[in-house]
Copies of this chain bind each other. A is one copy, B any other.
Amino acid sequence: MILVLGSFTAQPGRIAEALALSQAHVRRSRTEPGCLAHAVHVDSENADRLVFVEQWSDGAALKAHFKVPESRAFVASIAALSTQAPAMAIYEATPIG
């Protein structure tokens, strides 16, 4: 399984817009092949920072997700609202408990 952790910090006053875009992205992503989970959360220590947790069946599903035009548009929109480039880490994850 592929696990993705992503995050970005919205510019001052832009968090509502960023969250609405993020929630739409989450809802759309959940309908894609191989998407096991996709959600966005608010950092409890920074109300302007959003954290994504995604789970995909395999690397091919994630690769296809990145190629979806709406995914690319979302990344561009978020980058424009962020204080710096959004962060993303991708893991091959094996359940052990």
Tell yes or no: A51 within 8 A of B by CB: yes
Q: For residue A51, which residues in chain B have a CB less than 8 angstroms away from its CB?
A: 39, 41, 53
From 32 to 54 in chain A, residues with beta carbon under 8 angstroms from any chain B beta carbon are: 39-45, 50-51, 53
Interface of A is mostly: strand
Tell yes or no: A22 within 8 A of B by CB: yes
Report the copy number of this chain in the oligomer: 2
Which residue in chain B gives the minimum CB-CB distance to A59? B96
Q: For residue A50, which residues in chain B have a CB less than 8 angstroms away from its CB?
A: 44
Nearest chain B CB to A39's CB is how many angstroms away? 7
Which 4 A-B residue pairings sit nearest by Cβ, starting from the closest? A41-B41, A90-B97, A91-B93, A42-B42
